[in-house]
Structure 1
């Protein structure tokens, strides 16, 4: 019995030492926490990829892993189309989510194929994840991807005058920021960006469950604040992300202008980041920006969590898909 107690005590000691070691490592570097979060998020993404496969139309063709930025191995994009090249179609440029530290265009490829089946070109943009690459690398990559699509529009079947910037979660933030920077030269200048596409090329934005107002992090406590701090430290390289002026551009609502493109925005009723979407909507309304929303009653059953739109087997997922298609069809 005494030996059993010694063994249990030894194991508990090892566990405690491991937790302390992890805590110290997490304090010294953003990598430990980012690895844990990435594994969980990517596992969810893999399950989503499988779940959306049955909904992919047979007539969609894809061209994969096209390099859009010289010397950047992460800068790859996919083009999904429902017709053969040669006809320019309204083009949705979708940036994947994953808290800026996980995910990939590959994990949402089936969902993008489903959208393409409705009669448009859909581009999935890959970018560098954190902490290997920190802010504002991702926004600068997307700007370059848009230049590439403009220069190769004919061969890819892209309508470079009808680009719709879209994204989910962190990808929604990146797309909204890039749209905002093209619409506002001072916003672009604040991060040293020099957009090489014009505002009239961006017909609209489609934004799901994004992070648009980092001031909301100030009110978080406990595990929620720990999660956001871990993500933002990975993304920015610091825990001072709320007060360091270098990162003010992450909050799109602080830089939005009346020239922001027409926008479709949606979020689930049980999404912990719903406040970001509501803040964005209020800002769009204040500036008189044309926008459409898809929101749900607080007591909606079943509760709709983060990135609910990917669940195509559910009524809400199908409603979101139809709303995307209607929004794009109505754009000039």
Structure 2
């Protein structure tokens, strides 16, 4: 009798344990499909590796620069820090580039841009390298607002950092290109500023150029890209995380944040480039054509596969390839002619 009771108790415990395990599995599966957080976390981890391959000249470039790290730019949001990478012998008149890093809106860090910023600084440009709050914890348009906060902080502290914001550029790679591109659209179009409900804060005449690398500029197209299932899943996850809803492609913000639809004749001179494989080349070319049609000075750099082979997303950070070297050289040429 006691043995039968013991067996019955054990059986109940096993059933309860199995039900708990099943419940946890179902809960985990529900979380996977009902929230962007699990996949966004995985994507964030992937971006932690970084993509920068230093040039053969990097050590010499490093000697020609100095860096101030982790400056608090007094953001209302998390992760509001920036670095300033200066030319070694800079003056107040040194041109300034504000750079927003990539990472699909859910990952990345300013440290991944430091190598490229050093190369730019060694050629005479100060780089303000900005961190911002990531999705899904903070959603659109938080990074756009933080770029404004970073600019305002530097503007209010020009004496402290020995900078004068009379000759400035805005730059970004991947998601950072979209953020910077949208921010500049706000500064140069009062109609668009009203549409976004974000105030313009910069005298447009001080913005001498925009540098856009491998960015998305037609946001509704993200969910419709004809590419591998893995990349489609990546696009859907990052869109869901950044815009805050699974069916993000129906949101008004998708069209609002698509700068190809909103740039005007007053947009500053622009440099656009992208890889030819698993990236946003079509969107880069579309923005290039749109700017040309509005008589904006625009330099486009795109690469034929038959000559350069496959160039993946963020190819420009491999500075030891012909395409990477050409992109950096063309970047410097663009900056030098737009001062």
**TM-score (norm. length: structure 1):** 0.88
Q: Provide the C-alpha distance between the structure 1 equivalents of 2:76 and 2:236, rounded to a whole number of angstroms.
A: 31
CA distance, structure 1, for counterparts of residue 26 and residue 45 of structure 2: 21
What are structure 1's unaligned runs of at least 5 residues? 1-15
Partner of 2:165: 160
d(CA) in 1 for partners of 2:28 and 2:225?
23
Between 1:269-278 and 1:207-216, the stretch displaced more is 269-278
Q: Distance in 1 between matches of 2:52 and 2:23?
A: 38
Q: CA deviation at 1:162?
A: 1.0
Residues 156-211 of structure 1: per-residue CA shift (max 9 Å, x gap): 24341111100100000000000000011221222221122111121110000001
Aligned equivalent of 2:295: 288
From 195, 201, 219, the equivalent of 1:190 is: 195
1:243 aligns with 2:246: no
Give the 3 Å change call, closer, same or farther, for CA 326–192 of structure 1 in structure 2. same
* 1:25, distance to aligned residue in structure 2 (A): 1.4
Q: Is the 8 A contact 1:270 1:306 kept in 2?
A: yes
Say which of 54, 58, 61 aligns to 1:55.
Answer: 58
Summarize the alignment of residues 153-302 of structure 1 with structure 2, pairs less than 5 Å apart: 153-220=158-225, 222-302=229-309
Structure 1 position 75 matched with structure 2 position 89: no
Q: Secondary structure at the match of 1:264?
A: strand
Corresponding residue for residue 305 of structure 1 = 312
Q: 1:30 — aligned with what? A: 36
Indicate if the aligned counterparts of 1:233 and 1:239 stay in contact, CA closer than 8 A: yes
Q: CA deviation at 1:264?
A: 0.4
Larger Rg: 2
Cα displacement string for residues 85-109 of structure 1 (whole angstroms, at most 9, x for unaligned residues): 6432111111100001000101221
Report how many residues are paired: 315
Secondary structure class of the residue paired with 1:89: coil
Compared with structure 1, are the counterparts of its residues 50 and 314 closer, same or farther at alpha carbon in structure 2 (3 Å cutoff)?
A: closer
Q: Please give the root-mean-square deviation of Cα atoms over the aligned residues, in Å.
A: 2.3
Cα distance in 1 between the residues matched to 2:240 and 2:337: 40
Task: Tell me how far 1:68 sits from its aligned partner.
Answer: 1.4
Is 1:315 aligned with 2:322?
yes
C-alpha distance in 2 between matches for 1:274 and 1:49: 20
Larger mean Cα displacement after TM superposition, 207-216 or 238-247: 238-247
Partner residue, 2:128: 123
Secondary structure at the residue paired with 2:165?
strand
| SS of residue in 2 equivalent to 1:323 | helix
Query: Which of structure 1's runs of 4+ aligned residues deviate more than 6 A?
Result: 16-20
Moved more, 95-104 or 287-296: 287-296
**What is the deviation of 1:278?**
1.3
Deviation at 1:271, TM superposition (A): 3.8
Q: Could you tell me the TM-score, scaled by structure 2's length? A: 0.86
- For 1:70 and 1:209, how far apart are their aligned partners in 2? 27
The answer to whether the 8 Å contact 1:188/1:194 transfers is: yes
Residues 182 and 302 of structure 1: is their aligned pair in 2 closer, same or farther, counting only changes over 3 Å? same
Query: What is residue 4 of structure 2 aligned with on the other side?
Result: none
**Matches of 2:36 and 2:55 in 1, distance apart?**
32
User: Unaligned regions of 5+ residues in structure 2, if any?
Assistant: 1-21
Contact 1:208/1:266 (8 A) holds in 2: yes
Question: How far apart in 1 are the matches of 2:249 and 2:166?
Answer: 36
